Structure 1
Amino acid sequence: MIQSILNLRTKKIAPEQLFMLSVLIVNGGNYIYNLILGRVLGPEQFADAAVLITFLLVLSFVAMTFQLVTAKFSVLFEHKVFQDFITKVYKQAGIVGLLLGLLIIVFASQLQHIFNTSSSVMFIIFGCGVPLYFLMSVNRGAFQGKKAYKPLSLTYQAEMLSRLLITLGLIYLFNLQSSAVIAIGIVLSFVFGMFPFNVKHIRFKKPQALSQDYSKQIKRFFLLTAFYELTQIIINNSDILLVKHYFESYEAGLYASLALIGRMVYFIAWMFVMLLLPAVVELKKEGKETASVLFKYVGYIAIISALIVLSCLSFPELIIKLLFGESYLAMAPLLWKYAIATSMFAISNIFAYYYLSLDQYIPVIFSGVFGMLQMLLVVFYHDSLEQVVHMQIIAMLCLLTIQIIFFIYNSKRTRLKA
């Protein structure tokens, strides 16, 4: 089915539409993966699985720095300059991935203690796959920047399908339900996610040094992106890890199911972010206005967010029953509230990535400040899961408000200069 979709002739479906359709399929597959784990494992065991899934999300945000840097400069660089650039990025990504993987392996026992997991083996297995994930992200960044959406779609589908089939195969065929099985499925999915791999992007000879001007551009954008992805990690994952630390496994498992459903809007928003960055960079390169692209994607996310929040408010128990089962019904009253928090974060994210594409760092700082605020609010106010959700709503409302104010102020200042 997926292959037939990808083989549609380009005159019938635009590459961007193909990629959006592919992302919806990938997100749907990832949801099925998480939902089946939640049903099969139950709240307490699912809490361990949720830690691994959260580690995967954290890893994806860190590696996204390399992917976005590769994507942006794949638009700007051509021919030999691009070859030298991409070879250098692969080398740096491999080194960073190796160091992070070793850190996770070395401190596996400490991670088990901090997050109250049943085993440290799952962290050791996960750490072995980290370097591969970074190389996979650079490969995707090259496809993204060149707008090669068909191979980009295939890499995401290969990762999703392999993780789903391998993990569920081990669980159902061999009746294995340990956290190590989840880790094995995740690591093996990185191998499949490497395909298709564009060998032409690799030069085995030592690349020539880039000009000082190019190096400054790359370094500046890399640092900006790295800082912003750090804020993404804090905002998008700190709540699950803090809940796992402060609450019992049963409550942490319930919260993990809530977070998975409520974050649906964020994962959909990510699809638009992937299209936004190369579009804005290309328009800026051509000297054209870029605000219309921002308005288009903010409009899409606002409509989708409103529909999801309304659904969570109207049918919370039905949604949780269908997705996770009756064991998780205690989270029904909080579902629409969590969806509001993630909706505001998703819209704020579009603003931040827009300015990141334009090399403007102030919105990135805003995200960092309010990401830390969210984490601190949860650290100091966590008497109940409801209070944890309320703290996130407060932080994300402040973030969205300041992003909108900055956009209005910046637009007026730009018009006055013109």
Structure 2
Amino acid sequence: MQILATLKSRKISPEQLFMLSVLAVNGGNYLYNLILGRLLGPAQFADAAVLITFLLVLSFAAMTFQLVTAKFSVLFENDIFKSFISKIYKNALVVGLVMGTLIVVFAGQLQTLFNTSSSNMFVIFGCGVPLYFLMSVNRGVFQGKKAFKSLSITYQGEMLSRLVITLGLILLFNIQSSFVIAVGILTSFLFGLIPFKFPTLIPKKALQLSETHSKAIKSFFLITAFYELTQIIINNSDILLVKHYFESYEAGLYASLALIGRIVYFIAWMFVMLLLPTVVQLKKEGKETASTLFKYVGYIAAISTTIVVVCLSFPETIITLLFGDSYLAMAPLLWQYAIATSMFAISNIFAYYYLSLDKYVPVIISGVFGMLQMGLVIFYHESLEQVVHMQIIAMVLLLIIQLVFFKLNQSEKIT
């Protein structure tokens, strides 16, 4: 009773509510993946992992629109804001339609490339791509305006609907195929649109953006798109390359390893969502921003260290509890993969911090090391262990370079 009284007496801030919501969403997504891993087994889970990886790739691509919307939702107001939102929605829809059509048209080739059992899963997935881009712009407005309650609802809706619908179809009809997983993903995009204000799509008064505003939007969009591309490469190329170079059983084992090890990154993303609008607002007000960076880097470093230590101490227990005995072969690599994702998560905070300040060198650095990671895996993939080691090398070097850039940048300010 005393605990309940204490919780009631403390008012939870919107930021804290959003952080709790993100933790719940990540937990739900993890539960979704873990149940699929147990129900399908390593070989079939490899197909599911391809779709899940495609979903992550899509989320990074659409994140370009979300971050652009979030930043300029802070900077623009009134009629300029309405005109900007109208334009960004239309552009997002066009890009979504083009990408979705390409996935549908080349579904057969994608099946061959990634050794999947069916091409239909790519067709269904492609149909949902335009919805995801609209959803991302919608989220960008909530993020920029710090409407964290609405932002939480859209993430919760997507996660819960995907979990309930996918697992419901599998358990009720006993259909263990990638088709069911694709249907669940497509349906979740519809739920993720809630809440959505349709009138903002086509405003009654369309004010023409000035050349200065248009140039600023284009510049930020292009550099953000480039950075999200590096995110796609660093986060997902390993799973897709393993699926290409290794047998389905080994690819399924690796997918389970990646899912557990990436918990660091998914937690770090919660802080990135809070970091960007905060830094943009501080810069707009002419205030100091480095302390905000230090705060979030400290959070991620502490969380990363804890996760790596736990993975090193109890690898077999973790894998058995989460995926089952079938995946135990990955136990020795668990803590090593966690190190790679930890280095990347911390580097990511630095990159998004400078992206918020319109400084793009760290973004280019990330792109270079993203390509380095992919190149290392392409040339050195004799075993799954070697694949993990290549990622550690690339990510440790990336973090070192980001820290050096930060130090040099701070020295320039002092002088």
| TM beyond 0.5 | yes
User: Structure 1 residue 281: deviation in Å?
Assistant: 0.1
* More deviation, 86-95/192-201: 192-201
**CA–CA distance in structure 2, aligned partners of residues 120 and 85 of structure 1:** 38
User: Structure 1 residue 414: deviation in Å?
Assistant: 1.3
**CA contact 2:88–2:137 (8 Å) conserved in 1:** yes
Against the structure 1 CA distance between its residues 41 and 368, is the aligned structure 2 distance closer, same or farther, given a 3 Å change threshold?
Answer: same
User: Structure 1 residue 58: deviation in Å?
Assistant: 0.1
Which residue of structure 1 aligns with residue 142 of structure 2? 143
SS for the counterpart of 1:335 is helix
| 1:11-410 → structure 2 map (5 Å cutoff) | 12-199=11-198, 201-205=200-204, 207-410=206-409
TM superposition score normalised by structure 1: 0.97
User: Structure 1 residue 208: deviation in Å?
Assistant: 2.7
**CA contact 1:67–1:138 (8 Å) conserved in 2:** yes
Unmatched tracts of structure 2, length 5 or more:
1-6
User: Structure 1 residue 11: deviation in Å?
Assistant: 6.8
* More deviation, 206-215/395-404: 206-215
**CA–CA distance in structure 2, aligned partners of residues 189 and 9 of structure 1:** 33
Residues 145-174 of structure 1, C-alpha deviation per residue, up to 9 Å, x if partnerless?
A: 000000000000000000000000000001
Residues 211-265 of structure 1, C-alpha deviation per residue, up to 9 Å, x if partnerless?
A: 0010011001001100000000000000000000000000000000000000000
**CA contact 1:301–1:347 (8 Å) conserved in 2:** yes
User: Structure 1 residue 209: deviation in Å?
Assistant: 2.0
**CA–CA distance in structure 1, aligned partners of residues 287 and 376 of structure 2:** 41
**CA–CA distance in structure 2, aligned partners of residues 348 and 207 of structure 1:** 40
Residues 101-160 of structure 1, C-alpha deviation per residue, up to 9 Å, x if partnerless?
A: 000000000000000000000000000000000000000000000000000000000000
Against the structure 1 CA distance between its residues 10 and 260, is the aligned structure 2 distance closer, same or farther, given a 3 Å change threshold?
Answer: farther
**CA contact 1:143–1:149 (8 Å) conserved in 2:** yes
**CA contact 2:71–2:280 (8 Å) conserved in 1:** yes
SS for the counterpart of 2:259 is helix
**CA–CA distance in structure 2, aligned partners of residues 121 and 200 of structure 1:** 34
**CA–CA distance in structure 2, aligned partners of residues 300 and 386 of structure 1:** 29
Residues 12-33 of structure 1, C-alpha deviation per residue, up to 9 Å, x if partnerless?
A: 1000000000000000000000
Residues 21-73 of structure 1, C-alpha deviation per residue, up to 9 Å, x if partnerless?
A: 00000000000000000000000000000000000000000000000000000
Amino acid at match of 2:270: M
**CA contact 1:101–1:130 (8 Å) conserved in 2:** yes
User: Structure 1 residue 201: deviation in Å?
Assistant: 3.0
**CA contact 2:337–2:388 (8 Å) conserved in 1:** yes
**CA–CA distance in structure 1, aligned partners of residues 372 and 399 of structure 2:** 13
Amino acid at match of 1:405: V
SS for the counterpart of 1:185 is helix
User: Structure 1 residue 204: deviation in Å?
Assistant: 4.1
**CA–CA distance in structure 1, aligned partners of residues 206 and 42 of structure 2:** 51
* More deviation, 139-148/196-205: 196-205
User: Structure 1 residue 197: deviation in Å?
Assistant: 1.0
Superposed CA RMSD in Å reads 1.1
**CA–CA distance in structure 1, aligned partners of residues 314 and 145 of structure 2:** 42
Amino acid at match of 1:94: L
Amino acid at match of 1:249: S
User: Structure 1 residue 198: deviation in Å?
Assistant: 2.6
Residues 330-368 of structure 1, C-alpha deviation per residue, up to 9 Å, x if partnerless?
A: 000000000000000000000000000000010000000
**CA contact 1:83–1:203 (8 Å) conserved in 2:** no
Unmatched tracts of structure 1, length 5 or more:
1-7
Aligned length: 409
Which residue of structure 2 aligns with residue 3 of structure 1? none
**CA contact 2:143–2:273 (8 Å) conserved in 1:** yes
Residues 59-110 of structure 1, C-alpha deviation per residue, up to 9 Å, x if partnerless?
A: 0000000000000000000000000000000000000000000000000000
